[in-house]
Amino acid sequence: MRNQIAAANWKMNLTYQEGEQLMNDIVKASIHLKGHQKAIFAVPFPYLMMAIGKTASMVNYAASAQNCYEKKSGAYTGEVSAEMLHSIGIKYCVLGHSERRAYFNESNLVLAEKIARCLESGITPIFCCGEPLDIREAGTQNSYVGAQLKESLFGFNAQQLQKMVIAYEPIWAIGTGKTATTEQAQEMHAYIRAELEKHYSHAVASDIPILYGGSVKAGNAKELFSCPDVDGGLVGGASLVAKDFIEIIKALK
């Protein structure tokens, strides 16, 4: 079975003390994850060592960065490289979140570079893709997401692709309280998997976890995760509430 993943994205929220308490509350729940299930915590850079420490003794729990820079090293004040993340034990990095694309003008080609840096450092990229409201309303979401996949992912070979996780985030459903219907989520996840099969193979496409990232909550996680091509969630607001994220982890297939 493909890996099933509950990934928390704290974004730019919580003080260190609040984050530590949240991690404590989740870890204390002692949720036993099966071999194919993972709980990942994408926390702000200053909290990475804390998150690593909290998850170190937990099976299939891990810390993740929310971003990295596209260059290996150099005079880039304020940036953090994939090599730096690897050196402290980070195994995952979220790339291409819609907020990074919108506020920091990250292009598909820049994201391809970031993916390359992560792979070189042994870090699993969690690559985000998805369409804004105007694209969804125009009915062109498939070609829009297809272009994101083509420009950011399809330059990598099959072995490299199999080291990645994809997260589909309908931008119109992030932080708006709107959620894609189960049918809409499954439809796009199936399209993404079909594109992977077209450019690689059935075996490769069947092996890649595709997460849903649009207002996943404790109340809808089980239904969303029950879709055949939805392999968990990239969770924003609900990941900041211990009892909610605990229920989301428990909803994994």
Q: Containing H/E element for 228?
A: none
Q: Judge whether 182 and 194 are in contact, CB under 8 Å.
A: no
Whole-prediction pTM: 0.96
Q: Can you tell me which residue has the tokens 């969630």?
A: 233
Identify the sign of the CA torsion 86, 83, 193, 208: negative
Please return the burial class of 184, using the count of CB atoms within 10 Å of its CB with bins 0-12, 13-18 and 19+: middle
Instruction: Give residues with Cβ within 8 angstroms of 63, minimum separation 6.
Output: 40, 41, 42, 43, 48, 51, 52, 55, 89, 90, 91, 92
Given a cut of 80, whether residue 71 has pLDDT beyond it is yes
Q: Can you tell me which residue has the tokens 């690593």?
A: 52
Q: What is the mean pLDDT of residues 143-148?
A: 97
What is the pLDDT, as a whole number, of residue 175?
63
The better pLDDT of the pair 51, 180 is held by 51
Q: Is residue 97 annotated as part of the catalytic site, yes or no?
A: yes
Enter the tokens of residue 140.
């062109």
Q: Judge whether 166 and 211 are in contact, CB under 8 Å.
A: yes
Q: Residue 202 phi/psi, 5° resolution?
A: -60, -40
What is the pLDDT, as a whole number, of residue 172?
84
Q: Judge whether 41 and 60 are in contact, CB under 8 Å.
A: no
Instruction: Give residues with Cβ within 8 angstroms of 159, minimum separation 6.
Output: none
Q: Can you tell me which residue has the tokens 């607001």?
A: 237
pLDDT in tens, 163-222: 999 999 998 877 666 667 899 999 999 999 999 999 999 999 999 999 999 889 999 999
Q: Judge whether 237 and 175 are in contact, CB under 8 Å.
A: yes
Separation between Cα atoms, residue 160 and residue 27, nearest integer Å: 32
pLDDT range class, residue 149, cuts 50, 70, 90? very high
Number of domains in the chain: 1
Q: Tell me the residue type at 78.
A: G
Range of the domain at 204: 4-250
pLDDT in tens, 15-37: 999 999 999 999 999 899 999 99
Options 70, 99, 106, 169, the catalytic residue: 169
Separation between Cα atoms, residue 137 and residue 184, nearest integer Å: 13
Which range, of 112-116, 131-135, 164-168, 194-198, averages the lowest pLDDT? 131-135
What is the pLDDT, as a whole number, of residue 151?
98
Q: The CATH number of the domain where 37 resides is what?
A: 3.20.20.70
Q: Which residues pair with 38 in a beta bridge?
A: 5
Q: Which residues pair with 235 in a beta bridge?
A: 8
Options 86, 97, 195, 247, the catalytic residue: 97
Q: Is residue 169 annotated as part of the catalytic site, yes or no?
A: yes
